[in-house]
Chain A
Amino acid sequence: MRWWNRRETELNEEIEAHFRMAVEDGTARGESPEKARSNARRDFGNEALVKEVTRDMWGTRTLERLAADLRYATRMLAKSPGFTAVVVLTLALGIGANTAIFSVIHAALSPLAIPHPERVMLVWSDFPARGWHSIPASGPDFLDWRASGVFSGLAAVTQDGVNLRLPNQTERVDLLRVTADFFSVMESGPQLGRFFTADEMRAGGPPAAVLSDELWHSRFGGATSVVGQSIILDGAPRTVVGVAGRKFPKWQHEQVYTPLVLDADIATSRGTRSLLVTGRVRDGLTIEAAARRMAEIGKRLSHDFPDDEGIVTRLQPIEEGALEDSAELLEVLLGAVGFVLLIACANIANLVLARGTGRVREMTVRAALGAGRWRLARQLLTENLLLAFAGGLAGVIPAWLGIHFIKSFEIESLPQASLISLNWNVVAFNFALAIATGLLFGMVPAWQARKLNMSDTLKAGNRSATAGTHKRLRGTLVVCQVALSMVLLAGAGLMVESFLRMRSAWPGYDSRQLLTMKIALADKQYSEKRAQASFYDRVLSRARGLPGVAKIGATDELPISDNIHGSGVYQPDRPTPRRADIPVALVNSITPDYFDTMRIPLRKGRWFSDADGEGSRLVAVVDEFAAHRLWPNENPLGKPIKLGTKEPVREVVGVVGSVDAPLLVTLLAGRLGQVYLPFAQVPKPGMSLVVRYEGQATPLISAMRDVVRQVDVDQPVFQIRTMDEVRGTDQLPQKLAAYLLTAFAAVALALAGIGIYGVMAYSVGQRTREFGIRMSLGAQPREVWGGVLRQGAVLGVCGIAIGLAGAFGLTRLMGKLLFRIGATDPLTFAGVTLLLAVVTLFAAWLPARRATRVDPVLALREE
């Protein structure tokens, strides 16, 4: 740089010396000093030009040129701080938002930290006749698949929870039971100790456990001495043999691993589907060939075994499986945020063009001084890239904020959420995006500069010959902006409407003032059904006496749980239908007070009572949906049902109102009916308590913990949350999408408004003289005003029309995120169209009004 400056100074000195000598010669010839000086100047010609052209001779060293361009660009931008600030801010928001969303996608798409993750497959069973997909496998199916030789290792896992006893309390932790091959499928070793031995994998073998990295750090302080230590899981001791690697892929949130032993029950019953299966495709076999082989095996099994009838076997790459739940949310967010950036680019291109029009004279003079067209274009591009870079730099702040905002939602379905951070890849993306946007919006004015026509421009004064094409281009940009905004607004409108409907939807029970908590009795300590029943009886009766508890009930699965306890419903008084036609219902065990506590209304018959006990007649209550499905035109009361062919017959004694199943269940299995059984007749080890409370929930939490501790200190109470909180968690993806889309749409709307305003204001400014003449010739203000407004309206209508067409196509992609609203809901579309129309008209109206205030005399004199 210093070297550069020296050369610059030398050039200045050289030219100064030239002047001095010329002036001296002049005075020597007898001219007056002033005359000599002016003569020397005239002879020399344009000094700036001479310097510039001479500088060009210094070579094409790009670095120097870049430095010169950059210095010039910085100077130009510093001259218009308002413009620069607006552009940098707009860009920072646009780029930052994109970077934040990208960080989530980057984390989600990061390959699993195992060798060749693309060869690891999930093996699913689908049941197309019912529209079910991705259902777990049965033990015999798993064993048949494993024997096929398609996989070098095939493992089955089940997800569960266990009670981990710690020095001062017992805590619920997530457990993954795994078969022998699991760790070899993952091909990722432990960071400490070892995985299970063959001996530990066998039934009755030494009880062992492997800890996750997270649990090891959070509960065992990351001490290496943990290996060999004994821990108490579900009341029974197990030896910790190892700790999984820090990046070991998670199935969900498992914190501890224990061996999964296929007992005789699981290994022989083809109808019991509880296993999640993953395998590594054998070397030498392509993924396609493996998928074909597995499909053939599946076909054979469905032919040979009635329990597998209609089941199709499907392979899914494990990484794709992890993405499945959140793919739509990510796609919608990425699309939306991309639109915001495009709108921002259009807006900036518009600003740059508007400024470019004002700079036509500057450009022309520079061209006249010998700056080449390419050179001018390059200069403009440099300016815009500098702007974009500044925007990218500033964009890191909103990106960081955005990342924290998204992380704060703790959406469970986002894969590898722990990797979401502002890491180098993400920052690199941020700047790549900045440069891409700089090129995008910088190209337009640079290209325009190419067509500069010097003599015309100089003659025309401020009114440039390029103004016409500028205007058309800017009009096009505004139409694009309005169209993109329309799509975003439609998406945001649908999302908000959907979220509001979800929030206000009556789920079939009263979720206010309802506290829920889970208890899962350890198998070892409560293997007896009777012991399970008496544990809950004692807890419930003690809890009833607590202050603030109005009502308390229990169910084995809350209606907001993603776990499906479904079962086929058989009617023993009718012929058995074909397998695919057997109705399926969710089955829950509940205590008699459950309905009353939840305020689920009774439609017919009666609720359960304490009389529906172990020894009495087996009874069931069905919901309205199931009643309608099973007995369309009959009275369901007194009808017999069986939940599975080998199950006993139960009599329907009541019909209650239907309760919404969680979104995920509805998505996977469609709308299902519900059958309730009395807990006393069908006890379960794990139950959720529901408490209808008065006043505050917080004091109740510790009181409820105490109650359970008094009954059995070893059984932890977990997931204590109010029902509204739980429902909120279920709605998190929708909430995030609604928030972000609304924010994006608001920015888009503002930018589109500014865009229209800018173009109209510019156009009015250009036509001041014309308006002045027309007004002085007697034109009514209303005509002038109307003309301008019409021009704005044309832009708005074009944009809205294109945007509507786009929105109709694009909102379909967000179908799964929507709740009880069509992807092209006419009311939402009409609403956002109106909103956009009002904003565009207002943006056009402001400059239009100014057109009528033109003072004809002033306007004419102005030229």
Chain B
Amino acid sequence: MKHRYQNRIELLQGTLDMLILQTLQWGPQHGYGIGHAIRAHSGELLKVETGSLYPALHRLERQGWVRSEWKTSEAGQRAKYYRITTAGKKQLAGEQQRWEQLAGAIAGIMNRTPEEV
């Protein structure tokens, strides 16, 4: 079962990291908020499992792409807020570029008509 999780994390790894970093571009956010934002902005298409979200956040923090601090939310709740770092922004730019290349490449294949093969 661990394998299934690992596979999913692997599949999503680069993408999820990118999505998290992108979300944090708009300002510091806590884990629940990040998950909520990704779901909302993807039109409820992408649902991030907590089992992937928190490990990803802790991993990003360890790599120095995000930094965390305890703050009180608008609702007066204490929560751990994550903020993107300069290194994180650089990483995001790189990933975004790679993603665009990949998306473009896949789109190129998918958009070809059979005659062209």
Contact = CB atoms under 8 A, between A and B. Distances in A.
Interface in A43-75: 43-46, 49-50, 53-54, 56-59
Contact of B75 (A24, A43, A49): A24
Given A14-B31, A53-B51, A56-B55, A21 B2 contact: no
B32 A53 contact: no
Interface stretch (B76-84, B95-103, B107-115): B76-84
Contacts of B80: 10, 13-14, 17
Contacts of A454: 1
Interface in B38-69: 49-51, 54-56, 58-59, 62
Nearest to B78: A17
A22 interface: yes
A368 interface: yes
Interface in A348-403: 367-372
Contacts of B59: 57
A725 B32 CA distance: 86
Given A18-B32, A368-B1, A370-B5, A54 B54 contact: yes
Interface string B22-47: 00000000111100100000000000
Contacts of A370: 1-2, 5
Contacts of B2: 367-372
A15 interface: yes
A130 interface: no
Contacts of B50: 18, 43-45, 50
B1 A20 contact: no
Given A14-B54, A53-B5, A57-B59, A20 B77 contact: yes
A138 to B, nearest CB: 82
Contact of A59 (B36, B49, B62): B62
Nearest to A59: B62
Contact of A57 (B1, B32, B55): B55
Nearest to A21: B32
A18 B73 CA distance: 12
B71 to A, nearest CB: 11
Given A18-B32, A43-B50, A44-B50, A58 B77 contact: no
Which residue, of A44, A46, A53, A454, has the highest number of chain B Cβ atoms within 10 A? A53
Nearest to B56: A57
Which residue, of B50, B77, B79, has the highest number of chain A Cβ atoms within 10 A? B50
Contacts of A56: 55
B77 A21 contact: yes
B78 A50 contact: no
Given A18-B31, A370-B5, A372-B2, A53 B55 contact: yes
Contacts of A53: 5, 51, 54-55
Which residue, of B1, B33, B70, has the highest number of chain A Cβ atoms within 10 A? B1
A697 to B, nearest CB: 79
A59 B58 CA distance: 10
A458 to B, nearest CB: 10
Nearest to B61: A57
Contacts of A44: 50
Contacts of A367: 1-2
A13 B68 CA distance: 13
A38 to B, nearest CB: 15
Interface in A1-46: 10, 13-15, 17-18, 20-22, 24-25, 43-46
Contacts of A15: 54
B30 to A, nearest CB: 7
A17 B58 CA distance: 16
Contacts of A372: 2
Contact of B54 (A13, A22, A25, A50): A50
B32 A54 contact: no
A45 B55 contact: no
Contacts of A45: 49-51
Nearest to A47: B50
Given A17-B30, A49-B51, A367-B1, A57 B77 contact: no
Contacts of B58: 54, 57-58
Interface string A611-630: 00000000000000000000
Nearest to B60: A57
A24 B33 CA distance: 13
A371 B2 CA distance: 7
B43 to A, nearest CB: 18
Interface string A445-463: 0000000001000000000
Nearest to B79: A17
A15 B55 CA distance: 12
A258 to B, nearest CB: 78
A332 B102 CA distance: 73
Contacts of A369: 1-2
Nearest to B52: A53
Nearest to B9: A53
Which residue, of B2, B62, B80, has the highest number of chain A Cβ atoms within 10 A? B2
A552 B70 CA distance: 100
A855 B50 CA distance: 50
A708 B18 CA distance: 105
Contacts of A20: 77
Contacts of B30: 14, 17-18, 21
Nearest to B36: A25
Contacts of A17: 30-32, 77-80
A559 B77 CA distance: 97
Contacts of A18: 30-32, 50
A57 B62 CA distance: 8
B13 to A, nearest CB: 12
A195 B20 CA distance: 86
Contacts of A10: 70, 80
Which residue, of B51, B73, B77, B79, has the highest number of chain A Cβ atoms within 10 A? B51
A14 to B, nearest CB: 5
A203 B30 CA distance: 101
Interface string A288-312: 0000000000000000000000000
Contacts of B32: 17-18, 21-22
Nearest to A49: B51
Nearest to A19: B32
Contacts of B36: 25
B61 to A, nearest CB: 8
A804 to B, nearest CB: 48
A454 B5 CA distance: 15
A814 B93 CA distance: 78
B75 to A, nearest CB: 7
Contacts of B51: 45-46, 49-50, 53
Given A17-B80, A368-B1, 5 more contacts: A18-B50, A21-B30, A21-B79, A43-B50, A46-B51
18 contacts: A14-B31, A14-B80, A18-B50, A21-B32, A21-B73, A24-B77, A44-B50, A45-B49, A50-B51, A53-B5, A53-B51, A53-B55, A54-B55, A56-B55, A57-B62, A370-B1, A372-B2, A454-B1
Interface of A: 10, 13-15, 17-18, 20-22, 24-25, 43-46, 49-50, 53-54, 56-59, 367-372, 454
Interface of B: 1-2, 5, 30-33, 36, 49-51, 54-56, 58-59, 62, 70, 73, 75, 77-80
The 6 A-B residue pairs whose C-beta atoms are closest, nearest first, are: A57-B58, A21-B32, A57-B59, A17-B79, A370-B2, A54-B54
